[in-house]
């Protein structure tokens, strides 16, 4: 340890408390009611930090707030998640009304700001050294967690108050610069994606001389499947591939690691939704509008009611890849947005799918469009990957700076 630094036990220097400090689980159930419309106090959760404090707060009444008095929060308090994803660390902002701590996290508040700075505690537990200490007290198989008793026993290195302040100041300045760089990279990555989407939509806008028809006019089938459990079948660890919405990426790829599986008996029972090579899958519930093409390597496979199976006629004038891009364009998205119904979840019916207006040129022109979009997508993906790698490097730099700070090297 660097000269002039000392090692302190967290429990000796800080208040450490949590949601369950105010009473038994039974008394908490009886006295604390969650409200999803604005009420007296915000119940601060790790998810609020993850969403950048922007929306979907949970509230509690004045009576519940008073009952939770042992874990009421104030601006600047340090909160660390201790269940599920242990180690997520943040400072509580001013939300403009009373705040109290939610479950699955602990509150850490220095007893003496003059001796141990709150900002120092925050930055330490963000650092690799702090995260390593938290990992050392974390356990669990089905759910990772650590308890506040073990946390209180942790010992951390602490310099003199003036040095704490200098370290925090240096880190804040470094993180402001890193944040600006991250914002720049995020904007560049978004611009690369938007450039491709603009190009995609331009391909299908206002093309004179193209043929027009309904999607149902060029298909031998537009159908869907069913959830196996509604007919007494269960998912299996292995077997026939079963493709759900989450198996379809926004980049028109099927993701085998996201496939579920069913038995051959189940697959045979759901004959209508047995997939064939070159079928298009189009999501009609939930994440509306995702589309991908089924290939031989994905078969045998089946699907449920959230994905429409679009099977082209053998003599259709439209190519599968062309239709995939068309279904991703604003020409179709604008139609599905107007058709979708359902309050809790947006949905399209098979009848609405069949009624979609599509437009297409000659097959020769379609091939040129497919080739140009593929080339543009490769370049767009390359740029996005480059910027994503830069973001990863910036995150690594942040960890390196934090590590140096608490080794006394900053």
Q: In what order do the strands lie in the sheet with 99-101?
A: 58-60, 41-44, 99-101, 72-73
Q: How much is the pTM?
A: 0.60
pLDDT tens digits for 152-167?
A: 999 999 999 999 998 8
**How many Å apart are CA 289 and CA 249, to the nearest integer?**
11
pLDDT tens digits for 304-353?
A: 999 999 999 998 999 999 999 999 888 888 888 777 655 445 788 899 99
pLDDT at position 46: 93
Q: What is the mean pLDDT of residues 215-244?
A: 93
**How many Å apart are CA 222 and CA 351, to the nearest integer?**
9
**How many Å apart are CA 392 and CA 327, to the nearest integer?**
33
Q: What percent of the chain has pLDDT over 70?
A: 97
pLDDT at position 343: 45
Tokens at residue 74, please? 């104030």
16 SS3 class: strand
DSSP codes joined into one string, 162-224: HHHHHHHHHHHHHHHHHHHHHHHHHHHHHHHHHHHHHHHHHHTSS-TT-EEEEGGGGEEEEEE
Peptide bond into 17 cis (omega under 30): no
Q: Which residues contact 318 (CB under 8 A, 6 or more apart)?
A: 218, 312, 358, 360, 366
Tokens at residue 402, please? 């934090």
Beta carbons of 79 and 89 less than 8 angstroms apart: yes
Beta carbons of 198 and 150 less than 8 angstroms apart: no
């Amino acid at each position: 340890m660097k000269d002039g630094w000392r090692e302190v036990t967290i429990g000796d220097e800080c208040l450490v408390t949590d949601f369950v400090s105010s009473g038994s689980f039974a008394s908490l159930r009886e006295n604390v009611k969650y409200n999803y419309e604005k009420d007296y106090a915000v119940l601060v959760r790790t998810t609020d930090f993850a969403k950048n404090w922007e929306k979907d707060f949970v509230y509690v009444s004045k009576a519940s707030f008073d009952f939770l008095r042992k874990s009421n929060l104030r601006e600047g308090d340090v909160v660390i998640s201790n269940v599920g994803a242990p180690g997520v660390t943040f400072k509580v902002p001013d939300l403009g009304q009373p705040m109290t701590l939610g479950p699955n996290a602990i509150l850490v508040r220095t007893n003496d700001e003059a001796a141990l700075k709150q900002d120092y505690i925050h930055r330490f537990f963000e650092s690799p050294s702090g995260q390593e200490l938290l990992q050392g007290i974390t356990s669990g198989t089905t759910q990772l967690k650590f308890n506040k008793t073990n946390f209180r026993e942790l010992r951390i290195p602490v310099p003199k108050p003036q040095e704490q302040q200098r370290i925090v100041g240096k880190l804040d300045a470094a993180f402001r610069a890193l944040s600006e760089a991250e914002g720049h990279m995020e904007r560049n990555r978004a611009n690369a994606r938007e450039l491709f989407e603009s190009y995609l939509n331009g391909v299908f806008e206002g093309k004179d001389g193209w043929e027009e028809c309904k999607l149902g006019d060029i298909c031998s089938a537009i159908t869907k499947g069913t959830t196996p459990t509604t007919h007494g079948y269960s998912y299996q660890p292995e077997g026939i591939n079963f493709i759900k919405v989450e198996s379809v990426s926004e980049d028109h790829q099927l993701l085998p690691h996201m496939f579920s599986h069913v038995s051959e008996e189940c697959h045979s029972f759901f004959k209508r939704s047995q997939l064939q090579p070159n079928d298009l899958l189009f999501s009609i519930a939930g994440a509306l509008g995702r589309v991908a093409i089924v290939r031989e390597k994905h078969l045998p496979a089946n699907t449920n009611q959230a994905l429409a199976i679009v099977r082209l006629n053998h003599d259709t004038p439209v190519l599968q890849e062309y239709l995939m891009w068309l279904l991703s364009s604003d020409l179709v998205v604008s139609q599905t947005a107007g058709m979708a119904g359902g309050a809790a979840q947006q949905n399209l019916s098979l009848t609405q799918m069949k009624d979609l207006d599509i437009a297409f040129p000659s097959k020769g022109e379609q091939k040129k469009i497919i080739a140009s979009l593929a080339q543009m997508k490769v370049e767009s993906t390359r740029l996005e990957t480059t910027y994503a790698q830069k973001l990863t490097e910036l995150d690594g730099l942040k960890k390196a700076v934090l590590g140096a700070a608490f080794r006394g090297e900053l």
